[in-house]
Chain A
């Protein structure tokens, strides 16, 4: 059975493995960013490394979907389309063993490839991750914390969980729809939706930390006006610095004395920050912010701290792997009962 699995699977296997090898070699070729106090700044200035980092991260987000589409969806659907299931299911191997062998061999390969790449990328970025957790600032991808949803999904262990899930989803949809191409499309669509909704609907609610702080010129991080204060501009958004470096900021909102989120800021707040004619950085007026605090306004910050990174990664990988196992179970049921 393993021979047949490999014989049928070797072309898609080699294709995806080659792509994965290219990603790994790309990271090795440009080399990991150099360590030091200025690690983040150095990376920001290094166009080649930033491009490689961006490219590999995006590829890692897509890789599970590709595996689901090209390894998962055709697994049963192609047999059903070509009628070859009637050939192979009538050899002296039960359908259950046929499916189990294929799902295990290919599913575990999918997890191994994505986990390996996820860990290679983790190794490549560890200098930057350490610097950001230690408080370094930066712009673009170089300044992003690995807890932020996009980078979170692109490295570490979770790509293996996503790959298992996407693969199992593809196998199930292919079995139910009995058509390869629609199954591929639906696999990609459902996987994309899951990728988008898991951070706000699941990860954000795993016991996040909430801090309610007084806004001061010292912790002010964002101050957005819709026009100059002398021309009736009002404040649209106010943000404070994240309480902990490297955290995933889920909410950063102003609340009033009752603890409700503020829709409109008082109009005088617009004058609290003035441009500084001498420096690039604007000037914030402490007295003005004291008046803001006295009026009962606070800033509520909700975040997942950087320290939970690996706990979340492992939990989520296990969760998605179990989900994949559930989908495989459904496929077994379907293959035994419904398919002919």
Chain B
């Protein structure tokens, strides 16, 4: 299967601080990709580079085989719903559809109109007067009706209430099913992504910590509890110690037969949280050495 996004050694620096560092990724087509990480981890930076709103400081990024935003055809292939779903406040819903139709050769006017009707948005309503959820839906409509191969959404539901959030994501999933497009969707909440995505990328502290198919991720991480300091199999994610026992979250595929270990299953949220925790690790370790 082809690749929707390929990054190699990608980095973006602001002054002395890297917003994203050493990012190497290959995202296959046909997935709904969730990009998760705490606020300020570098999710928006990655997505902004994927649509060409930002230029990388180092490394390369390729989207659907081309340089982001390099040509009208490249722009036509990638739909983008930006953070806070910006719309023109003084333009009406109808004007936004007209804008989409005029600026996109592959515009699907019928699809756009059908969506707007189903959502119950009046065409002559100014975007300024729409609710946050309605504005997000309008932005999504613009993104979908341009008929892209890849739709990128940057925290589309961050400012929505739980109900609008659920509706938006459901609606997005319906569109994905209808149109066979690849989607990359970012959020700082695992729960937003759990139901919708089948591929996950975890970014913490401006680095990609984990990327892979959701099923693989869930099946390849376990929690092990056993006697203190006897070592563990697989790749360590986090470790927690009490006086007599240690608890590890590890990445390990395969059976664990040692009866000394208690094996626990992890939910997706547990796994993501474990990766987010890892950044705070060096400090406790140092304390332990002293003790």
* Same assembly: yes
Beyond A4-B102, A4-B103, A340-B54, is A90–B91 a contact (Cβ under 8 Å)?
no
Q: Complex Cα distance A8/B82, Å?
A: 20
B105 in the interface (beta carbon within 8 A): yes
Q: Which of chain B's residues have a CB closer than 8 A to the CB of A202? A: none
A92 in the interface (beta carbon within 8 A): yes
CB distance A83 to B82 under 8 Å? Answer: yes
Q: Which of chain A's residues have a CB closer than 8 A to the CB of B104? A: 91-92
Question: When A and B form their complex, what is the total count of cross-chain residue pairs whose Cβ atoms lie within 8 Å?
Answer: 75
Q: Complex Cα distance A84/B69, Å?
A: 16
CB distance A91 to B99 under 8 Å? Answer: yes
CB distance A92 to B146 under 8 Å? Answer: yes
B236 in the interface (beta carbon within 8 A): no
A87 in the interface (beta carbon within 8 A): yes
Q: How far is the CB of A332 from chain B (nearest CB, A)?
A: 14
Q: Complex Cα distance A246/B78, Å?
A: 63
Q: B86 — nearest CB in chain A belongs to which residue? A: A83
A205 in the interface (beta carbon within 8 A): no
Which of A1, A91, A92, A340 counts the most B-chain CB atoms under 10 A from its CB? Answer: A92
Q: How far is the CB of A83 from chain B (nearest CB, A)?
A: 4
A308 in the interface (beta carbon within 8 A): no
Q: A82 — nearest CB in chain B belongs to which residue? A: B86
B78: contacting residue among A1, A90, A97, CB under 8 A: A90
Instruction: Write the B57-76 contact mask toward A (1 if CB under 8 angstroms, else 0).
Output: 00000000000010111011
Q: Which of chain B's residues have a CB closer than 8 A to the CB of A312? A: none
B37 in the interface (beta carbon within 8 A): no
B185 in the interface (beta carbon within 8 A): no
| Residues of chain A at interface, number, CB under 8 A | 21
CB distance B78 to A340 under 8 Å? Answer: no
Q: How far is the CB of A256 from chain B (nearest CB, A)?
A: 62
A337 in the interface (beta carbon within 8 A): yes
Q: Which of chain A's residues have a CB closer than 8 A to the CB of B48? A: 340
Q: Which of chain B's residues have a CB closer than 8 A to the CB of A279? A: none
A94 in the interface (beta carbon within 8 A): yes
Q: How far is the CB of B3 from chain A (nearest CB, A)?
A: 21
Known contacts A83-B82, A87-B86, A93-B103; can you find 5 more A-B pairs with CB under 8 A?
Answer: A3-B98, A83-B86, A90-B51, A90-B53, A94-B75
CB distance B88 to A1 under 8 Å? Answer: no
Q: How far is the CB of B15 from chain A (nearest CB, A)?
A: 14
CB distance A93 to B72 under 8 Å? Answer: yes
Instruction: Write the A150-191 contact mask toward B (1 if CB under 8 angstroms, else 0).
Output: 000000000000000000000000000000000000000000
